[in-house]
Each structure stands twice: as C-alpha cells, then as structure tokens.
C-alpha cells in the first residue's frame, strides 16, 4: 500500500449506512476495512482507486470481539474509524426476551466502546484522525417500542462526550452522528406496518452528509434539515414528541 493512502475502518459495512460509507470512502481513495457478521458486502465502485477488504465478526459475542481486536490493531493505524454497526428490537419491552435486549446493548454500545478504547490505547489512529460514532435521532426524544435500542444509542452519545478529552490528547476528533429513519432493509424490518419508506433518507445521502461533518471535526452530525428540526423540537417539547412517537410507532407495532 502507498504510504500516502488513507485507511478507514467501518463496522457494519455490509449494508445500509455502513455500506454507503464504505463505498464513498473507497471511491475517495481510502483502503477500507469493513467489519461485519454478514458476508454479502458491497464492493467498491469501479471509479474509485481505493478498496474494501473484509473481516467477519459477530459483535454480539464478546469472545469473537476480543479475538478480532488484535487483527484490527494490526490493520491500522486508521485515519478514520466509523463505529456504525447496530441492531434493533421492536415491540413491547416486556415481551422481548432478555437475550435479545442484551444483544442490542452488546452490538450497539459495548462493541463500539471496546473497539474505540482499544484503538486509542494501542495507537490505532493516525495523528489528526477522526472517530465517528453512529447514534440515533432517537437520542433527542423517547422511542416507545424500541427502548433497548434507544438506550444503547443514548449511551454511545454519552460515551463520546466522556472520551473527547482523552481522544484529543491523542490528536483524534470524535463526531457523533444522529441519523433519522433511513431507506434500508434494517429500517424496513423494524418499522410498523404501513410506514412510508419514501419519507426516509437514502443511506448514500446520509453517508455523504455525516462523513463531511466528521472530516470537518464537528462534534455532532444530524443529517438533513427535517431531522435537525425534529431534534430541536424534541429538546424543547420532549413529552409531546414522545407521545407522537408512541402513536406513530409503538401503537402500530404488532402486539
């Protein structure tokens, strides 16, 4: 690899937002390492000079995560690390089994926290690198019907706030992304019946906006004016917005 080539790590790079980010980075000349449990991974476009390579790991397993960490460190240091992998669980909290709730927390919170900490400890970032953590627009309001998902994404945003000083000491900036609903298979699986997918943002568009914010060193990225407006209203009037979310999502989920 050319010494001037930039490296990026993207978790959850097989589909949705992660795949969109991996494609964009590869098209921009990055050597992208995608970490995912899926093997159907999007390839870099022909026009790009970069590449996408793959490591497979089920991030809900701490054993598998600990096994892959030395390899991640070996593949670095990285100019950009995107900790995007995420899963959800929708329905009434008490009817979802405990193992499912725990898997959501392991994939969405524990895995990115552990990966970020180890890379910072082991010199896994180049000077001036960026760390991008993907939270959720639900951070700005309640999310009835997906409580463990909302909790996992809220924890990730708070973790970022607590880690910024330590990261800055290593010349690493931290950006937290708060994407709204995206036009992905994952969103479709967890959406209530009758939800209009056309109103969701295309993952390629969200990827471009979020990466631009990460490269500029912004602390937060809320892609799209409607999502920024929603976040603002959620801060000002959390109870009415949570009630609206309950009507739009929770009451329309299968019992």
Domain-by-domain residue ranges, the chain?
7-252
Distance between CA atoms of residues 65 and 244, nearest Å: 38
Judge contact between 219 and 163, C-beta under 8 A. Answer: no
- pLDDT score recorded for residue 190: 47
User: What are 12's two structure tokens?
Assistant: 């959850």
Q: State how far the Cα of 131 lies from the Cα of 82, in Å rounded to an integer.
A: 6
Q: Computed from CA positions of residues 24, 214, 131, 157, in that sequence, does the dihedral angle turn out positive or negative? A: negative
Residue 97 carries which DSSP code? -
Quickly tell me which residue has 């959620």 as its tokens. Answer: 234
Please write the tens of the pLDDT for every residue from 119-177. Answer: 999 999 999 999 999 999 989 887 777 788 889 999 999 999 999 999 999 999 999 99
pTM (two decimals): 0.87
SS3 category, 170 = coil
> How much of the chain, in percent, has pLDDT values that exceed 90?
60
Q: Which fold has domain 7-252?
A: Rossmann fold (3.40.50)
């Amino acid at each position: 690899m050319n010494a001037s080539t930039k490296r990026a790590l993207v978790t959850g790079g097989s589909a949705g937002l992660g795949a969109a980010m991996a494609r964009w980075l590869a098209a921009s000349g990055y050597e992208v390492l995608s970490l995912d449990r899926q093997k159907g991974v999007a390839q870099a476009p022909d026009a790009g000079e970069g590449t996408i390579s793959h490591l497979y790991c089920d991030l809900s397993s701490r054993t598998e995560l600990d096994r892959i960490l030395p390899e991640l460190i070996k593949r670095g240091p990285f100019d950009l690390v995107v900790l995007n992998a995420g899963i959800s669980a929708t329905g009434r909290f008490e009817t979802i089994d405990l193992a499912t709730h725990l898997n959501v927390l392991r994939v969405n919170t524990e895995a990115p926290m552990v990966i970020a900490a180890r890379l910072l400890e082991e010199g896994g970032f180049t000077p001036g690198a960026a760390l991008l953590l993907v939270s959720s627009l639900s951070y700005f309001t309640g999310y009835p019907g997906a409580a463990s998902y909302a909790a996992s994404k809220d924890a990730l945003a708070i973790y970022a706030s607590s880690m910024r000083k330590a990261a800055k000491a290593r010349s690493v900036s931290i950006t937290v992304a708060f994407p709204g609903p995206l036009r992905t298979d994952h969103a479709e699986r967890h959406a209530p019946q009758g939800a209009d997918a056309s109103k969701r943002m295309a993952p390629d568009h969200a990827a471009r906006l979020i990466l631009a914010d990460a490269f500029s060193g912004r602390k937060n990225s809320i892609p799209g004016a409607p999502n920024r407006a929603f976040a603002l209203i959620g801060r000002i009037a959390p109870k009415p917005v949570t009630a609206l979310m309950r009507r739009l999502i929770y009451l329309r989920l299968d019992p």
